[in-house]
Amino acid sequence: MAGGIESSDGGKANRFKELALPHLDEVYTLARYLMRNRSDADDAVQECYLRAFRYFDTFQGGQIKPWLLAILRNVCHSAYSENARLLYGEDAGDEAPVDPMWREQDETPEQTAVRRSESETMRRLINRLPAEFREIIVLREINDLSYRDIALVIEVPIGTVMSRLARARGMLRDAWVAAERRSKRR
């Protein structure tokens, strides 16, 4: 029965892992930006995957990434309503720096330092955005979702995706310009 329907739990788990686990880094990335600290992000991602597996029968095909991200977002929001500090708490951008996954070849230590500080700056600025703008920036620029998928994940019309993204980029640009100015003055 090549390509047939597997009905055993093992088959379902296999299929789920095969589809969902490749997106773990992306799901984790969104969780880090939504929860803004490592241990809450860990918890949220774990809960997301368990919930996704539980509802895997309702997954109707298509791309699984937006589906997973929508579940993660719900998990984060329910964690948030249990504890309002998590999502909207005062700037929690004081995390230890984490190396990005990619690494330029043949970087000098100076270049590494510049890159690291720039990426820290950008992460900090994104983390300071209000939640609805933060999440749309991450979904678009880092998770690389189309407008249509963003609309599905955050459950708003595409028109709202567009106007919110425009505002979010505008806010981030203002913050970026201000940060650049500060760093030059130093």
Partner 1 sequence: MNCEEAGILLHALIDGELDAENARAVEGHIAGCPKCAATLRDMQAIRNAIRAGASQYAAPPDLRRNIEGKLPASAPVVASRRAALKGFALGATATALAASGLLLMVTRKDAERRVLDEIVSAHLRSLQGDRLADVVSSDQHTVKPWFNGRLAGSPPVMDLTAQGFTLLGARIDYVDAKPVAAIVYRRRVHIINLFCEPALSQGESSASMQSLHGFNVRSWREKGIHLWAVSDISPDELSEFGEKFAAALKQ
Q: How many CB atoms lie within 10 A of CB 134?
A: 22
Task: List Cα–Cα distances, 30 to 13, 33, 56, 66, 67, in angstroms.
Answer: 24, 5, 20, 11, 13
Tokens 């929508």, residue? 70
10 binds partner 1 (CB under 8 A): yes
Return the residues of window 83-112 that contact partner 1 according to CB under 8 A: 98, 100-102
Report whether 34 contacts 73 (CB < 8 A). Answer: yes
| Least Å from the CB of residue 158 to partner 1 | 4
Site map for partner 1, 142-181, x if CB under 8 A? x---xxxx-xx----xxx--xx-xx--xx-xx--x-----
- Residues in 48-77 that interact with partner 1 by CB under 8 A: 49-50, 53, 59-64, 66
Closest separation between CB of residue 133 and partner 1, Å?
12
Answer positive or negative: Cα dihedral of 58, 22, 5, 7.
negative
Return the residue of 6, 78, 112, 183 that touches partner 1, per CB under 8 A.
Answer: 6
